[in-house]
Amino acid sequence: MSEWKQKKFWTKSDVTEAEGGFGIALDGRSVKTPAKAPLVVPSSAMAQAIADEWAAQEGTVDPMTMPFTRSANAAIDKVRIQHAEVADLVAAYGDADLLCYRAASPEELVARQAERWDPLLNWANDELGVRLTTLQGVMHVPQDPAALDVLTQRTHALDAFELTGFHDLVSLSGSLIIGFAALTDARDAAELWHLSRLDEEWQAEFWGVDDEALAHSNIKKASFLHAKSFVDAHRAT
């Protein structure tokens, strides 16, 4: 991946029309992915976000400051090639969805989980056509295969760019339902992130905030919000 180690050599980054979508050119030279495929994305909004990342580089190229570029590379080099495998991996979260595993105590936490998570499961029933079962404790209990099949089909229906963002929305939150809620704008992305951190935030209220854990959580939150922005850019014109 020498591309990521090079120093900035260009003065201008532009969005270009390309076969199948939009590309990015650096002083007229088309950008390629780490696997040497053309970096072509489906929307001008996503291409512009990538071009802006390249324009913002100073000195040595830093991939950690280029989330749209990294996500687009993943969509082209990995997800597009292994779409079925990635879709199955993501859909599997439905059988152990965070929202379904509830505390047995204390009563306040039990009530908070029901108050904040039940509406999302009700939404999934109404909008996605699935009813997932809740249980107390952490021992796995299989969900209804028919419900899982519906969720799996919906996941497989996503294209490579949508699935790339969706993968992160689900894996970072631990919830397929939260991922679909973000994907469909059923709730604000920041609100959904906090819902996924309900247990951790509950613990912080009683035991205090662990600075290291908070820093790690903030990194994951930024990645979650980026994943939503990546999907939004894909769907923009």
Domains of the chain, residue spans: 2-76, 83-235
CA distance 227 to 73: 14
Q: What angle do CA 60, 63, 65 make, to 5 degrees?
A: 95
Q: Is the dihedral of CA 137, 121, 192, 223 positive or negative?
A: positive
Which homologous superfamily does the CATH classification assign to the domain defined by 83-235?
ATP12 ATPase (1.10.3580.10)
> HSE on the CB side for 69, CA within 13 Å?
22
Residue 2 has pLDDT above 70, yes or no: no
Closest to 92 measured CA to CA, from 80, 101, 84? 84
Closest to 29 measured CA to CA, from 41, 39, 19? 39
pLDDT at 1: 35
Which homologous superfamily does the CATH classification assign to the domain defined by 2-76?
ATP12-like (3.30.2180.10)
| pLDDT tens track for 66-96 | 999 999 999 999 999 999 999 999 999 999 9
Stretch 169-193: mean pLDDT: 98
pLDDT at 4: 46
pLDDT at 3: 46
pLDDT at 183: 97
Is residue 163 within 8 A of residue 73, CB to CB? The reply is no
| Higher pLDDT among residues 205 and 166, named by residue | 166
| pLDDT tens track for 97-153 | 999 999 999 999 999 999 999 999 999 999 999 999 999 988 888 999 999 999 999
Mean pLDDT, the chain, rounded, equals: 94
pLDDT at 139: 87
Q: How far apart are the first and last CA of the chain?
A: 31
A 10 A CB-CB count for 134 gives 15
Stretch 1-20: mean pLDDT: 80
Residue 180 has pLDDT above 90, yes or no: yes
pLDDT at 182: 98
pLDDT at 138: 83
The pTM of this model reads: 0.94
